[in-house]
Amino acid sequence: MLGAITGDIIGSVYEWNNIKTKEFDIFNPQGGSMKFTDDTVMTVALMDSILCDYDYGQTMKDYFARYRGRGYGGHFRLWCKSESAQPYNSYGNGSAMRTSAVGFYYDSLERVLTMAEYFASFTHNHHEGIKGAQAISSAIFLAREGRTKEEIRAYITFEFNYDLDRTLDEIRPDYRFYVSCQGSVPEAIIAFLESTSYEDAIRNAISIGGDSDTIACMAGGIAEAYYGVLSPELSSLAAEHLDGNLLTVVKEFYEDLGLEFL
């Protein structure tokens, strides 16, 4: 939610301008201007769908039409422009980057897993696409339930067979751009597991390079659930960069959950 959205906005500068360091100015980045991307658009679309009981497939298409040019993947663009409602067997990380609301909204792990699969499967019905969405959603649920990092690591490793025993220092030198769940979801979770704060999780995520906005979005969603409310300076990035329609949906979602908003 705000953690995922803020991670996306911060990471947007570095998606095509990768850096391999944690030392960068979050608020005054060099090499580009911060913006929200497709990660944020589809995250908010999912919030809207949950709040209003909309069909998520149609909601995604509506949001795509409203927010063009936000870095959507090629297959997703074609799907949004088509008349078809059928999924296209994707295992891209789009299913995982948009799923943070699932981990916050539902009140049991079983329900989180079921709904993560449901929302992923509108487009990403490949088992790896579903697995990625379930892994991020369940990590968020476990984090907000107060589980330790080692408990989260153990559950994700057992349930999804992701290798979470690598360190960022081991990953960083050779890591490159992967759009698949299997090539980015474990790295995002490791960025969270090695973090000491929300901001540190975002720095970790961006520091490995690759699909920086999406990795920071996924890590940021888990970090928000684990560490709590973002600092005023970081949470204000959402207010500064989102338009009124997106911000209204996010605010209503937080209010529905009884959570502090900005």
Q: What residue spans define the domains of the chain?
A: 2-15+33-80+87-257
Q: Which position has the token pair 């220092």?
A: 169
The rounded distance, in Å, linking the Cα atoms of 9 and 37 is 7
DSSP state of 167: -
The rounded distance, in Å, linking the Cα atoms of 27 and 7 is 12
CB atoms near residue 22 (< 10 Å): 16
Between helix 74-81 and helix 56-66 the angle, nearest 10°, is 100
Which pLDDT does position 63 carry in this prediction?
98
CB atoms near residue 173 (< 10 Å): 9
The pLDDT tens digits for 125-137 are: 999 999 999 999 9
**Residues of the chain scoring pLDDT < 50:** none
Note whether 238 and 247 are within 8 A (CB). Answer: yes
CB atoms near residue 16 (< 10 Å): 13
The rounded distance, in Å, linking the Cα atoms of 199 and 227 is 10
Which pLDDT does position 262 carry in this prediction?
74
Question: Over the range 76-95, which residues count as b (16 or more CB within 10 Å of their CB) and which as e?
Answer: beebbeeeeeebbebbbbbb
CB proximity list for 17: less than 8 A, separation 6 or greater? 31, 32
At the topology level, CATH places domain 2-15+33-80+87-257 in ADP-ribosylglycohydrolase fold (1.10.4080)
- What is the pTM (predicted TM-score) of this model? 0.97
Three-state SS at 180: strand
Note whether 17 and 32 are within 8 A (CB). Answer: yes
Which pLDDT does position 238 carry in this prediction?
86
DSSP state of 172: G
Q: Which position has the token pair 């529905």?
A: 256
Which pLDDT does position 2 carry in this prediction?
95
Which pLDDT does position 36 carry in this prediction?
97
Q: Which position has the token pair 């992701």?
A: 162
Rg (Cα) of the chain, in Å, rounded? 16
The rounded distance, in Å, linking the Cα atoms of 37 and 5 is 9
Which pLDDT does position 151 carry in this prediction?
98
The rounded distance, in Å, linking the Cα atoms of 128 and 188 is 15
The rounded distance, in Å, linking the Cα atoms of 241 and 156 is 33
